[in-house]
Amino acid sequence: MSFFPFNLINDNLLNHKQMTTLKAGDKAPNFSGLDQNGASHTLADYKGKKLVVFFYPKASTPGCTAEACDLRDNYARFQANNYALLGVSADSAKAQAKFIEKYDLPFPLLADEDKSVIQAFGVWGPKKFMGKEYDGIHRTTFVIDENGIIEEVISDVKTKAHAAQILK
């Protein structure tokens, strides 16, 4: 019997949660979560509207602020095209409320502290930053049609021009 370190590598990889790979044409997860004010949001609440669900790593950090403010600045265009916007991170309701207040964001932010919505959409997983690996939220946006079907998944989010990626 020969020894190869591959078993160790494979075992370590298995310890990471596998990310779901939702794609265009898939039915969106039937999520339920609470926003910054404790109000409940479910997929069914948005039937008849297009829904943009954008996942971001942490409220009030530079990239997340740029993304949220770009969506805010184009909010009238989203509304005119029958879109609702819903941001999601693992931040507390208090942190989300502060983020909304500080940057005058006109859309709700889910405080998904238990990561149930984040995991339903499969955006939690291994990340690397400055040579360190850790688990976190992958900045991803899902565009969902009026019937709950995913139209587009944007994983290469351009934080300062995200509205243009969605409103082509």
Amino acid in position 110: L
Distances (CA, A) of 39 to 45, 49, 105: 12, 19, 16
Secondary structure of 9-72 as H, E, C letters: HHHHHHCCCCCCCCCCCCECCCCEEEECCCCEEEHHHHCCCEEEEEECCCCCCHHHHHHHHHHH
The total number of residues shown for the chain amounts to: 168
User: Is 69 known to be catalytic?
Assistant: no
Which position among 64, 84, 90, 123 bears the catalytic label? 64
Please give the DSSP secondary-structure letter assigned to residue 131: T
- Return the active site residues: 64
